[in-house]
Structure 1
Amino acid sequence: MHRRTPTTHPGLMTDMYHPDAAYVSWRTGQNGLTTFDLYTRKAPFGGAYLLVAGLESAIEFAQAFRYTDEELKFLAHIRDYDTAFLDELSELRFTGEMLALPEGSIAFPNEPMLRVTAPFREAILLESGLMQAMALSTLIATKASRIVYAAGANRRISEFAFRRAQEPMTVARASYIGGCSSTSLLNAAYEYRLPATGTVPHALIEMFPTEMEAFEAIAEAYNRYTLLLDTYDARQAIHTAIEIGLRSQETLGHTLSAVRLDGGDLVNDTKYIRQQLDKADLHYVRILASGDLDEWKIEELLQAGAEIDAFGVGTALGNGSGSLEHNIEGGSPGMVYKEAWYVDEYGTGFPKIKIAGEKSTWPGKKEIYRHPEWQEDVIQLAHEPRPNNYHRMLKPVMRNGDVIPGSLPPLSEIRELAQQNLAQLPVQYRQLLVEQPYPVRFSEGIINIRKQAAQQIGKTLD
């Protein structure tokens, strides 16, 4: 039986409780302008920072959000909503404003990456779609930046994640923002105009009767080529590769540009391979490594003296994995979307707070300001004066439901901004594991309004 590919329905890209919450809001006549903050409570992977990505998808989701007649019929089938409520949903569009940290920005825990202000029903219905758009992209961009950092300035990282990635296109785009030089996924290379790279699979080597014949076929096919050494025995294969490389250069003008190892004793094998290449005056041939690598394994390999010029990283990057060996969680940045301010029908504003220990929230419409030399960030109320010489971090990206011109820069500019910000980030906060978090301070105004919000509901904060 033929199964069609599922279609994305923007109006149904919510959790069940979102239209349920909107229905209660509609029944009680409460739909004031509400401000939500999207942020994380901690940095992923034991690090200090997050590299922001996914804003383009978040904006596109907000623009596309609407209900078709068929989707409203579906809602009516699964819930006994009043037909007048469904009539309202048929006309619902995002009409609010959105401020954001631009893609490629550095964020720290508790800092709003998005600040959304809209009528309550619009803002609550967008919650999960916005979180989904931002969470995975930010996680992968951050992971990629850490892997690139571990490899060092002169070693490239290729993203090889397609076959095991959660969302391959998202992973390829976010990895590029994070500093990866290329992708193995041709669809991503086509859509995003990324460099595409790849070598050959073990299956191609195995197809030939001998490794020599396989290498000869590859050398004859391409002007510049890479040979995979570890199908059988890497230390034997390098001698075959050198022979083929010298012969193809002499007879065909084809250049052996690199050799790749996909596992084994990468430290000692790469040392041996480098020695043999240098003895043959093939100093220009690069050694590539892949095979279940992440930032910690790359760091360990290089500290042990592995002779590796570039890396291909797949599974750990494509899934934003942590590390069992280092007791580091991965897989999610723990992003949340929390109500912070509500304006009723009379124009009176109310701070909103959730009290739940470490998960207690911070009320108020906020701004983020950064010290020009990265000494601290300050989160403060929007009406409080900017600290002298500090940089405002949140930028308006949507107003009255429309995208503000310049809010969707090309991917090349996003990558450039990301690399500039990562270069400026003080080195102690770029480490794979940090001893102290980056200083983020809440203003006195926010601290005071938080206490007031708690008192209004008869609670105190620890």
Structure 2
Amino acid sequence: MNRRAPSFHPGLMTDMYHPDAAYVSWRTGRNGLTTFDLYTRTAPFGGAYLLVAGLESALEFVQSFRYTSEDLKFLARIRDYDSAFLDELAEVRFTGEILALPEGSIAFPNEPIMRVTAPFREALLLEAGLLQAISLSTLIATKASRITYAANKGRTRRISEFAFRRAQEPMTVARASYIGGCASTSLLNAAYEYRLPATGTVPHALIELYPSEKEAFEAVAEAYNRYTLLLDTYDVRSAIHTAIEVALRSQETLGHTLAAVRLDSGDLVADSKYIREQLDNAGLHSVRILVSGDLDEWKIEELLAEGAAVDSFGIGTSLGSGAGSVERGINGGSLGAVYKEVWYVDDSGTEYPKIKIAGAKSTWPGKKEIYRHPNWEEDIVQLAHEPRPDGYHRLLRPVMRNGEVIPGSLPPLSEIRELAQQNLEQLPAEYRALSPERPFPVRFSEGLLSLRKQAAQLIGKNVP
């Protein structure tokens, strides 16, 4: 049976309640200029920071957002919307302004990663698509940055992203992992699309294809000028001796070089030490040891602390799914970003701060800016009209104006990765740690604190 590939309908990339809410606002004539903040309340994986990614796909979504005649027919079937409302949806295009942290920026909880200002219905209908674009990429980029940090303590070790087969969104994962510091991807489509280095070894199935492990190793060695051998199909300590024998012979007779050996299971600490010793005894000092197999930043840290002789890591499942750690009680798999209304201007031009009061989930009203101390001593979140603190750097950047992307807002991926690595190097070590002792200082200005109280009083409430 032939199955039609799913089609992409930007106007339907919303939750059901978005057009429903837009319909209510249409019926009551409330569509004033509104500002929404996109942010997180906590940093993922028990860390202190977020490495921002996904802006390019977010803006592509905004630019493509519209309702086709097919979309509108579908909406008419599932809801009894007034036909005049559907006529308005047919004309919806984003006409507003977006400010955002550039991809590769470091953000902290409760700081706006993105600030969207547009007529209420335009801004509201974009919510889910923006959250999806920013949340997944930022989650994966942050995960990759933590993994590379754990691997590179004391010396440089390459991380290869092996996540395709278990990734939530393989192309997004490959791109975000590269921003976060991974050196290569196993996914050829991502290597082609994003011009990334592609790397891979050999599968166990190839070793099992041959009558003996030696014959399998010889076939690989004969096929490539530089090659990698997989050692844990049968017995690691026997395999390394076979690999050395084949490597020395192929180097002598063919000029082919054993570049690396890979371990995917077993006692990674003891076996890697044994393998390094045997390689060095054979004069194969340049052969790298690559380790893979359900690893994450915490397991890498433990392996290296125990003295594992590892030169590089291949990371799949934990990176592709943005996993936390069950053993450590650390959540993962989702960033938990939110998109909250913070400012509204009605038809008469009257401005209203908007706030949600819900304990720890209470929001901060007003159009905001973020400023960072040049030595990373603190960030200040303040109202947009408040003066910039002396010497501090402004973090939010205009990326869309009047519904159009501002030229230069979407740099090449190589520049995004470079910015990310520069920012990670500048981030103080205590906040780069896998389990920081305290959060990064984020201070809210007196003007913002005052506006929050004012917004709460307007609805007869008090804020915590």
Q: TM-score range by the shorter chain?
A: over 0.9
Number of residues of Structure 1 aligned to a counterpart in Structure 2: 462
Which SS does the other structure have where 1:347 is aligned?
A: coil
User: Would you say 1:74 and 2:81 are equivalent positions?
Assistant: no
Whole-angstrom distance in 2 between the partners of 1:366 and 1:348 = 18
In structure 2, the residue matched to 1:8 is 8
User: Would you say 1:62 and 2:57 are equivalent positions?
Assistant: no
Which SS does the other structure have where 1:422 is aligned?
A: helix
TM-superposed CA distance for 1:235, in Å, is 0.3
Whole-angstrom distance in 2 between the partners of 1:299 and 1:98 = 39
In structure 2, the residue matched to 1:292 is 294
TM-superposed CA distance for 1:324, in Å, is 1.1
Partner residue of 1:224 out of 209, 226, 242: 226
Name the aligned partner's letter for residue 395 of structure 2.
Answer: M
1:42-121 correspondence to structure 2 within 5 Å: 42-121=42-121
TM-superposed CA distance for 1:79, in Å, is 0.6
Unaligned residue ranges in structure 2 (runs of 5+): none
User: Would you say 1:139 and 2:129 are equivalent positions?
Assistant: no
User: Would you say 1:419 and 2:414 are equivalent positions?
Assistant: no
Q: Deviations over 1:349-407 (max 9, x none)?
A: 10000000000000000000000000000000000000000000000000000000000
TM-score, normalised to structure 1's length?
1.00
In structure 2, the residue matched to 1:235 is 237
Name the aligned partner's letter for residue 6 of structure 1.
Answer: P
TM-superposed CA distance for 1:106, in Å, is 0.2
User: Would you say 1:24 and 2:24 are equivalent positions?
Assistant: yes
TM-score, normalised to structure 2's length?
0.99
Which SS does the other structure have where 2:123 is aligned?
A: helix
What RMSD over aligned residues (CA atoms) do the two structures have, in Å?
0.5
In structure 1, the residue matched to 2:194 is 192
Whole-angstrom distance in 1 between the partners of 2:79 and 2:407 = 40
Whole-angstrom distance in 2 between the partners of 1:129 and 1:324 = 29
Which SS does the other structure have where 2:15 is aligned?
A: coil
TM-superposed CA distance for 1:269, in Å, is 0.2
Which SS does the other structure have where 1:115 is aligned?
A: strand
User: Would you say 1:357 and 2:381 are equivalent positions?
Assistant: no
1:39-438 correspondence to structure 2 within 5 Å: 39-152=39-152, 153-438=155-440
Q: Deviations over 1:242-283 (max 9, x none)?
A: 000000000000000100000100000000000000000000
TM-superposed CA distance for 1:316, in Å, is 0.2
Whole-angstrom distance in 2 between the partners of 1:154 and 1:453 = 51
Whole-angstrom distance in 2 between the partners of 1:308 and 1:185 = 23
Whole-angstrom distance in 1 between the partners of 2:325 and 2:31 = 44
Q: Deviations over 1:289-340 (max 9, x none)?
A: 0000000000000000000000000000000000011111101111000000
Unaligned residue ranges in structure 1 (runs of 5+): none
TM-superposed CA distance for 1:8, in Å, is 1.3
Name the aligned partner's letter for residue 179 of structure 2.
Answer: I
Which SS does the other structure have where 2:338 is aligned?
A: strand
Q: Deviations over 1:165-199 (max 9, x none)?
A: 00000000000000000000000000000000000
Name the aligned partner's letter for residue 94 of structure 1.
Answer: F
Name the aligned partner's letter for residue 452 of structure 2.
Answer: R
Name the aligned partner's letter for residue 59 of structure 2.
Answer: I
Whole-angstrom distance in 1 between the partners of 2:199 and 2:162 = 9
Whole-angstrom distance in 1 between the partners of 2:108 and 2:401 = 25
Q: Deviations over 1:61-116 (max 9, x none)?
A: 00000000010011011111111110011011000000000000000000000000
Whole-angstrom distance in 2 between the partners of 1:453 and 1:261 = 58
Name the aligned partner's letter for residue 360 of structure 1.
Answer: S
Which SS does the other structure have where 1:276 is aligned?
A: helix
Whole-angstrom distance in 2 between the partners of 1:8 and 1:356 = 36
Whole-angstrom distance in 1 between the partners of 2:417 and 2:343 = 33
Whole-angstrom distance in 2 between the partners of 1:439 and 1:257 = 45
Which SS does the other structure have where 2:88 is aligned?
A: helix
TM-superposed CA distance for 1:424, in Å, is 0.2
Q: Deviations over 1:13-53 (max 9, x none)?
A: 00000001111111111100000000000000010000000
Name the aligned partner's letter for residue 21 of structure 1.
Answer: A
Whole-angstrom distance in 1 between the partners of 2:346 and 2:227 = 66
Whole-angstrom distance in 2 between the partners of 1:333 and 1:165 = 15
In structure 2, the residue matched to 1:457 is 459
Which SS does the other structure have where 1:432 is aligned?
A: coil
Whole-angstrom distance in 1 between the partners of 2:104 and 2:349 = 36
